[in-house]
Chains A and B, each alone.
Chain A
Amino acid sequence: MKLGLLVLPVLCISLAACSKQDDAVELRTPSRSEFSAVSSVLELRCGGLDCHGAPARSLRIFGVYGLRLDGRDAPGGRDTTPDEVEATYQSLVTIDPERLSRVSADAGRGAESWLPLSKGRGREAHEGGSRLAAGSAADQCIVSWLSGSVDFDACACDDFGPKPLPGETW
């Protein structure tokens, strides 16, 4: 009797674990083929070794300025490789995936609420503060990717670098 009491729950749990999951959710992701231009922006702005170019981050950005995918490469060495762009893509689209899917399905509407963009814009707590000012070229580049049509001009003209005060040089 005691054995029966033990076996029954175990059997139920086992059957439940093996049953087919019919409630799988299909998520949409933005374009992979046009991601390289977006990756370039992210690598420069967010992918340093002291931020998302570090292996311990949930969002990992691979490339020449930070974390390398191939153990034979070092930061500052050869340019970002296609495999690194792929690895960055895979890392990025797994952050807040449900919202990303909704934004992608709705032509970018609500993009600002997707966690990486929300943090990048400084709308919510982010150790790195605001790094993607709303409306900036970098921001437009990412939003356009989320909208389904990458604005390559915006991605290319992202101007991230030192800006000395008027009258000063760098």
Chain B
Amino acid sequence: MALLLVALGCSDPVHDRAVESLGPEAPNVPIGPLHRPGQPCGECHGELGPAHRAFSLSGTVYRANSGDEPEHGLSVRAIDSRGLQHTLKTNEAGSFFATSDEYAPVFPVWIKLERDEQVVEMRSAISREISCATCHGRVGAPAKVGQVYFEMPTIEGPGAGP
């Protein structure tokens, strides 16, 4: 009983509620790199768990500023305050992540999205947050940016137009 009370006393109710608020797993999506796109990965993949692997950077990139279509195979480049760089690739769900063993940046961190010659650079630095989704959400608001997206410009060829 005493052990149980100690264990309960050590939990972080704010963290517990944050994890709980993410809801259950989507049906037919196994737990793994493709699960829970668009959610703040660091809530579970942080120091407090409950996931076993701790991430140092993570997020999901979409094809446009609205909608669910993921951007697959995109390069996500990061550089930290020491100048150490790391490149990640988005998976089939549009998600990317680095574990703390792979890349342990010293914040602030700057981010670029790249595909071939197309580059989109984040205007501000990431100060300490390991999950893009903490600041980027589906809908922009005074304290929330819209979802991360990489929209290729429309190329008008000779036959384009009416």
Contacts and interface: CB of A to CB of B under 8 A. Distances in A.
Nearest to B142: A68
- Interface secondary structure of A, over-half rule: loop
Specify which of A50, A51, A74 lies most central, judged by the most chain B CB atoms within 10 Å of its CB. A50
A160 B125 contact: yes
Interface in A35-74: 44, 46, 48-51, 53-55, 64-71, 73-74
Given A50-B135, A164-B83, A74 B128 contact: no
Given A50-B126, A50-B129, A65-B123, A165 B140 contact: no
A55 B142 CA distance: 9
Interface in B108-162: 108, 110, 112, 123-129, 134-135, 140-146
Contacts of A67: 142-143
Given A129-B107, A168-B85, A50 B127 contact: yes
B143 A49 contact: yes
Q: Report the contact-size class of chain B (Cβ under 8 Å from the partner).
A: 20 to 34
B84 interface: yes
Contact of A48 (B85, B126, B144): B126
Given A168-B83, A170-B79, A74 B124 contact: no
A44 B124 contact: yes
A36 to B, nearest CB: 19
Contact of A71 (B84, B127, B142): B142
Q: Report the contact-size class of chain A (Cβ under 8 Å from the partner).
A: 20 to 34
A54 B141 CA distance: 12
A2 interface: no
Nearest to B123: A76
A162 interface: yes
A75 B143 contact: yes
A163 interface: yes
B124 A163 contact: no
A127 interface: yes
Interface in A101-135: 127-129, 131
Contacts of A131: 108
B85 A127 contact: no
19 contacts: A48-B124, A48-B127, A48-B135, A50-B127, A53-B143, A67-B142, A71-B141, A74-B140, A74-B146, A75-B124, A75-B143, A76-B124, A128-B128, A129-B107, A162-B110, A163-B83, A164-B85, A165-B83, A165-B85
Interface of B: 77, 79, 83-85, 107-108, 110, 112, 123-129, 134-135, 140-146
